[in-house]
Amino acid sequence: MLNRLEELKATALKELESVTMTNELELWRIRYLGKKSELTGVLRSLAGLPIEQRKAVGAQANQVRAALEARLRQKEQALQDSRLVALTREKQLDVTLPGRSVPIGHLHPLTQTINELCDIFTAMGFQVLEGPEVEWDSYNFEALNIPDEHPARDTMSTSWIDYETEGGRRPMLLRTHNTSVSARAIKSMSPPIRLIEPGKVYRYEASDATHTPMFHQVDAIVVDKGVTMADLKGTLYEFAHRFFGEDRKVRFRCDYFPFVEPGVEMAIECTACNGSGCRLCGNTGWIEILGAGMTHPEVLRRGGIDPEIYSSFAFGMGIDRLPMLRYGIDDIRLFYNNDLRFLAQF
């Protein structure tokens, strides 16, 4: 048995010297060190040998295994070194060539739009204010003069959250508009107030070319003495001209919102069809971008501001539609698909 181990060692080492490829090296390892190799078989048969012979054969077998494993590691390193040398000779590195540029990311187009809106309105004297996305019913609806029977409160329009407190259940929801931030502001701040409030809002509705269940809005509120509808229209005209260009047509029409009186909607000429009518504008030539109006006296009163002394205007717009109009994008869902071919254009 001892002689056979020495013969096995000599044969294995001789065969290893002739190995020149990595795949051949793996075959050699399986043949001489694998689970079904002769050497492994010797180690498994030791239990059937007499005790003295078992010790001698076991020690010799372990020495042979250790020698073969050590030589295998040396051969692996030698083959790797040879491969690196061959690659170096085959592909010379020219250190004078310019390096490859690393691709650099950029802000998402919606984030760019939010930053631009903040710059436009802060230049007009507004402050930026943010609020919680999970909101109390009292700020999202009650403080804004939205009655209990209003359709917006329905579970088909609003994502409600049950919240238990020590005093009992208090209704919470994913805010449906950033006007809830305005409600918080007029309750915690004293006039004069001039704020814009960008952020995400949530509506329980199906996705299509112009709607998604989560989107971005920017709301604004101004509270001061002597604020009029002329101030509101002048602010919105200035915004539209700065964002869309001096030649973009703007239209105001009467509309109803529970938290303003009177209320108006503002639309701009469709940039995709230049007013001739298309899929994006519903063949009307106009796209509504915001609702606005003079803040309802009851909303000011609930916030602790005397409407006999102060007046106010407010507006809110969907941020996602603004880059759609500017760049002629006909599907809002493109902003949320994370397709780099689309996002890289901005």
Are residue 127 and residue 56 in the same domain, yes or no? Answer: no
In which domain, by residue range, is 51 found? Answer: 2-90
CA distances from 297 to 24, 228, 294, 310 (A): 88, 13, 9, 9
Position 121 in a domain: yes
Give how many domains the chain has, as a whole number.
2
Q: Identify the residue with better confidence: 127 or 166.
A: 127
Other CB atoms within 10 A of residue 93 CB: 7
Position 128 in a domain: yes
Per-residue model confidence (pLDDT) at position 314: 95
In angstroms, how far is CA 204 from the centroid of its own chain? Answer: 20
Position 246 in a domain: yes
- What confidence category does residue 29 fall into, taking pLDDT thresholds of 50, 70 and 90? confident
Are residue 125 and residue 18 in the same domain, yes or no? Answer: no
Position 245 in a domain: yes
Full-model pTM: 0.66
Of the listed ranges 72-86, 172-186, 226-240, the one predicted with least confidence: 72-86
pLDDT tens track for 289-315: 899 999 999 999 999 999 999 999 999
Position 181 in a domain: no
Give kind and range of the element (H or E) at residue 183.
helix 179-188
Per-residue model confidence (pLDDT) at position 210: 76
